[in-house]
Structure 1
């Protein structure tokens, strides 16, 4: 909008004439004895000044080329006259960017940023634990955290009855007996042990030193000190049997686990939080 802008205007606004009527009057086209209404300079000057003053209240200068100034000024005045919101002390504001700093957004107030990676949780109704820190992002479970349960272990293997078995043949060759205390041996004729003479011919009277003489018993040999004997052990095997039996199982399982902590952080969106302190 703009002032009157032609050669018919004057540089100083004329004084407004006194009020003609205290009752509202309106424009008319006239008729009969009534002439059409003419506004007169007072009315035009007052309307023009009202609009100029609206621009001035919004700190705007009239611009003849902008026909939206009056709307802009009215909008600016409405916004500026609205109550200014300032968060109360202890309020918390949450943003998704560090570009917003409430210390700058609300000058004269003091804000502190909440620590990294903390969650917000309501405290006791009486406020006795407000601003305390609780919980952790990870935990290490112990046996006390598991539900009551048991493991079935122990017992024994099934019975196994091995009726018999035979070892493999093995040739020990000559072997030496263990030391025996001092002792004597019988001497005889035609000893009953085939190694020392025949038992089938009674007249075989060769001196055949034997502990098993079965025909002629002769005197004992002279005593000898503790000594061993070398005997020949031909290849042979042994037959044995294992009775029915079982084997016990251990009384407990082996230890497992390494007590590594586990995360208990839920799926979250991370934001920036501030708290007003003053």
Structure 2
């Protein structure tokens, strides 16, 4: 900033204005355009430095600029780069704090504290819901066993069926042995035959078959009281639907200062 004494020699020794004294030969301070331009530049730079646009119809801009600059210096110290602020309304700190740059944290996120070294700051992860897999379940099994009720089915009879007369296969030539003994009259066998205890045989009758009659008959089967043991596995259940793990929450708008 320039003083009037930097522009003209008509200023006093301190470089300030003087009314002069004609009687004593002291000239009043001349007001050149250079000084007024200096003052104007100072005032314009103050307004612009506060982030305001020059408005020729607004005579209060210097005051607004000073207030804005004071506020800016205040929030610059309160909100250093990297700080996070929260709003319960839709506010944009880029507009609230001119000269600073803020980034929105993001939507539908929760906060997890980073490492003390700051190595993982701003990293993301996690999910609001999960789906369990077999690997998430503890080792276990399902045991199932049962017994049927005891019931006496009594005695059952098969149906009657006549199998008719069946013939044996041809047995071929053969004979039958006969043992002799005395009859009940105390004599030898009839006709004076062999003595008691002797053996004889029938003649050879050649190939022949025998007929056997199998008449209609049935069989009875006893089914006593008894039970059966049953074992197995249960049926598969479940659908693998994902479930939420989100805690009860309240939503706020979060910003962090990047510059």
TM-score norm. by structure 1 comes to 0.44
TM-score (norm 2): 0.47
